[in-house]
Amino acid sequence: MKKSLYSFALVALFGAAAATSASAQAKMSPNTVMVGGQAMYANKNIVENAVNSKDHTTLVAAVKAADLVATLQSKGPFTVFAPVNDAFENLPAGTVETLLKPENKATLSKVLTYHVVSGTMTADKLMAAIKAGKGQASLKTVSGGTLVASMNGPHNVVLTDESGNTSCISTYDVMQSNGVIHVIDKVMLPK
């Protein structure tokens, strides 16, 4: 229930951005990627795009609760591995609600920044790093942890967190003015 209230509040707060997005859809470039039913524009920053994705309302609520909005709107560049709502819903019962409490802001920030790598790591760069690492690439996250990227088939990148949990990238190279987003299907957790 709290998650729904947070999502509703974010929709209200960022309603103007959604309205702007609707008018901008007529100006979509052929390279514009659709995420959560909305166009993601390369000339907008990570937050400006994420607030419009219906698949990332929990992530946006968490970013706001952790006071990371300004950081993810800054110049960057950043590579964000963005878990969809279902990824948060598949965490143990009560996890999201607990993380969103003000007293858990530091823990929430650590979890979220564990999904962020400095620089722009496109799919081609990820796959090249995996190949150069003979099947694995270690990615240092902004939180100070490590994600390991590997391949599952010729075109599927899999991330493994420090506890051995895995997540697949479902949408690659959602280009932003301050980096790139790759949509993932699981929440990655630092140790």
Segment 98-117, tens digit of pLDDT: 998 999 999 999 999 999 99
| Lowest model confidence (mean pLDDT) among 3-17, 60-74, 101-115, 128-142 | 3-17
Evaluate if pTM is beyond 0.75.
yes
| pLDDT of 60 above 50 | yes
| pLDDT of 83 above 70 | yes
CATH number for the 2-184 domain, one of 2.30.180.10, 3.40.50.300, 3.10.130.10, 1.10.1760.20? 2.30.180.10
| pLDDT of 125 above 80 | yes
Q: What is the pLDDT of residue 29?
A: 54
Closest CA to 191 of 161, 171, 151, 158: 161
Instruction: Tell me the residue ranges of DSSP E strands in 26-178.
Output: 33-35, 38-40, 78-83, 116-118, 136-140, 146-151, 157-160, 166-176
Chain mean pLDDT for the chain: 83
Find the mean pLDDT for residues 162-179. 92
Tokens 């607990």 belong to 98
pLDDT digits (tens, 9 = 90+) for 22-34: 434 434 555 678 6
Q: What is the pLDDT of residue 30?
A: 54
Find the mean pLDDT for residues 61-77. 89
Q: Sorting pLDDT into bands at 50, 70 and 90, what band is 48?
A: confident
Q: Sorting pLDDT into bands at 50, 70 and 90, what band is 11?
A: very low
Q: Which residue has the higher pLDDT, 160 or 153?
A: 160
Residue 143 contacts residue 190 (beta carbons within 8 Å): yes
Burial of 102 from C-beta contacts in 10 A (0-12 / 13-18 / 19+): exposed
For 19, 23, 68, the CA distances from 28, given in Å and listed in that order, are: 15, 10, 28
Q: What is the pLDDT of residue 31?
A: 63
Percent of the chain at pLDDT exceeding 70: 83
Tokens of 47: 């937050």
Residue 184 contacts residue 158 (beta carbons within 8 Å): no
Residue 35 contacts residue 44 (beta carbons within 8 Å): no
Find the mean pLDDT for residues 168-178. 92
